[in-house]
Amino acid sequence: MSKIAIIYHSVYGHTKLQAQAVFRGAQSVAPITAQLYTAEEAAARLDELDAADAIIFGCATYMGSMSAGMKSFIEAAAKKWFTLAWKNKVAGAFTNSSSFSGDKLNTLVGLVINAMQHGMIFVGLGMMPSANKPEDMNKSQGRGQTLTIALVRSWDRCPLVSKSTHRTHRAKATLRRRRCTADELQKLHFNLFVEKTPNHALQRTARSHEK
């Protein structure tokens, strides 16, 4: 059973809504179990994250970059970098800001680089863009994003009013893609093991599995 950790930092509640949508998307794809952590909780429980197969990072974009709370978590997690404890885990990210642009890409690049620092494998949407008409902006696959689950505009509203219907659809699609990626990586790891292992060792391994 695959385990996914979703780590988010939210001040006004918009990013929390995104994180909850990602959580629901993860829970809808069997046999995945998901756990939500605030950035503060994750920093205090770093060792729990070692057991996750995938870690998804999310925060708001403030002044063109990631929020201070997420940056604090990233720096606290540097101790995992020293041991490469998260190497080869699948990674993802999401962000939002109050404007259509808001330099959200800069935040995502920072989150991607953090994942690369840890030796993680970042998985994007894998969707073709289709925003050729204004109404396509309401489709989960319409905005031409490839790097992340969502670059969401939160509008200048209370989080309970500014929900986007495409968030859960995009989260589910991304989680399916990340699960498939994890499955393919496991197959690749096994194939490399077979190619590099002498036949007599493989026979011993097969016999031990039969028992």
DSSP string, 162-194: ---THHHHHHHHHHHHHHHHHHHHHHHHHHHHH
Q: Can you list the pairs that 156-163 forms with residues at least 24 positions away whose Cβ atoms lie under 8 Å?
A: 156/98, 158/13, 159/12, 159/13, 159/14, 159/16, 159/17, 160/13, 162/14, 163/17
- Quick check: helix, strand or coil at residue 91? strand
Instruction: List all residues 6 or more positions away from 110 whose beta carbon is below 8 Å from its beta carbon.
Output: 65, 66
Model confidence pLDDT, tens digit, residues 97-150: 887 776 888 999 999 999 999 999 998 777 666 556 656 555 655 555 555 555
Calpha distance 16→128 (Å, rounded):
27
Calpha distance 54→92 (Å, rounded):
8
Model confidence pLDDT, tens digit, residues 13-61: 989 998 998 898 888 887 889 999 999 999 999 999 999 999 999 999 9
pTM over 0.75: no
Task: Calculate the average pLDDT of the chain.
Answer: 76
What pLDDT shows up at residue 31?
82
Query: Does domain 2-210 correspond to CATH entry 3.30.465.10?
Result: no
Which H helix or E strand runs over 24?
Answer: helix 14-27
